Amino acid sequence: MALKLIIFLFTLHYVVLCFALSNGTSTSYFCASSSSGVVVSYEWVEKDKGILSWVMNNTANTVSTFILVRGAIYQDTELIGPYAFGAAYYPAYIYNGLAQYFQGPPVTLQEYQSSGATPLGMVQLDSQQFWTSFVFTLSPGQIFRIEEAGYLYNGDVLIPECQGVYELSYQGTFNFQISYSIAEQCQAFDDVQPCPPSPFSMGSAVYSVPSSSVVSSMFLPSLDDRFQMTFCTSDALFSLASRRKAIPKSTDQRESSALYRKEKCRTSHLGSYHRNPILLIR
């Protein structure tokens, strides 16, 4: 789940985008569609618990890579301004196994990713400005479902506010140093699980946004986070961590990390798509 209590004043204009498609037994609510024909809708899974399922349907005849920007409405008023799915709590997701940064050109989503290891990527808005969110890639005709919880406030169900589905273009894979608020982006999600250190280093696919309709406020939960491209200049020590637990540095890990760094510097534009080990700085 990824909702924070941030109140905006602009509201009505998005609500009209939403309508219901119902066949009497289950109800699917239209959310938004992308310029190339990805249609996103949602269905309640357990409405009284605020859990819904996003249904992403690529109706186009080309592969599509995109982000979903949505917020939430409480009693007819915007409670949570729309932001990119995955921009909140991504450090917690990395360590609890719900998400991973991916490297290389986009590959279409696999079924297991609806319940974990959802791809994270870097969205580039200008030469110096990067943000993180989930990046979804669907083949023509592919349908992908992913659940999201948290649509509850004061005991009432929140209604999703759909702002848009925005197409991305893959630009390459680069190294980043990521600084983030451990309290807001990890402990607020789960104060028991371990969190990545801040800063941490990470290789990630980078995507540009052809449409100028994607703006920095759509990544608001990470407003205080910093995503800096580092290339291969850092010689900081790091260790490979499991997704659930940071492993203290050992001599063996220093050796393997030196090896890894060398490989990585040689191939900063990776041609393959694979899980990304977490790189820890100090």
Q: Is the Cβ of residue 24 or residue 155 nearer to ligand NAG in the bound state?
A: 24
Stretch that binds ligand NAG, among 25-33, 90-98, 120-128, 153-161 (CB under 6 A): 25-33
Give the residue from 273, 31, 69 showing the smallest Cα distance to 167: 69
Asked if residue 19 binds ligand NAG (CB under 6 A), the reply is no
**Interface size with ligand NAG, residues (CB under 6 A):** 8
* β-strand pairing of 129-134 with 51-58: unpaired
> Which 3-state string (H, E, C) describes 65-94?
EEEEEEEEEECCEEEEEEEECCCCCHHHHH
Candidate residues 14, 52, 54, 57; the one interacting with ligand NAG per rule CB under 6 A: 57
106 in helix, strand or coil? coil
- Yes or no: say if 29 and 21 are a contact pair by the CB < 8 Å rule: yes
Stretch that binds ligand NAG, among 22-30, 70-78, 101-109, 224-232 (CB under 6 A): 22-30
Stretch that binds ligand NAG, among 19-27, 77-85, 197-205, 268-276 (CB under 6 A): 19-27
Candidate residues 23, 128, 154, 251; the one interacting with ligand NAG per rule CB under 6 A: 23
Asked if residue 187 binds ligand NAG (CB under 6 A), the reply is no
Helical spans, DSSP H, in 173-267? 182, 251-266
Helical spans, DSSP H, in 199-270? 251-266
Asked if residue 28 binds ligand NAG (CB under 6 A), the reply is yes
Q: Is the Cβ of residue 25 or residue 154 nearer to ligand NAG in the bound state?
A: 25
| Bond prior to 194 in cis (omega within 30° of 0) | no
Asked if residue 62 binds ligand NAG (CB under 6 A), the reply is no
Candidate residues 6, 45, 55, 149; the one interacting with ligand NAG per rule CB under 6 A: 55
φ and ψ of 266, to 5 deg:
-75, -25
Candidate residues 9, 10, 16, 26; the one interacting with ligand NAG per rule CB under 6 A: 26
CA distance 122 to 185: 16
Instruction: 30-35: list long-range contacts, CB under 8 Å, 24+ apart.
Output: 30/162, 31/68, 31/70, 31/160, 31/162, 31/165, 32/68, 32/70, 32/162, 32/163, 32/164, 32/165, 33/165, 34/64, 34/66, 34/164, 34/165, 34/166, 34/167, 35/167, 35/211
Stretch that binds ligand NAG, among 23-31, 78-86, 104-112, 228-236 (CB under 6 A): 23-31
Q: Is the Cβ of residue 5 or residue 20 nearer to ligand NAG in the bound state?
A: 20
Q: Is the Cβ of residue 59 or residue 114 nearer to ligand NAG in the bound state?
A: 59
Asked if residue 25 binds ligand NAG (CB under 6 A), the reply is yes
Question: Which 134-163 residues touch ligand NAG, going by CB under 6 A?
Answer: 143
Per CB under 6 A, residues contacting ligand NAG are 23, 25-26, 28, 55, 57, 59, 143
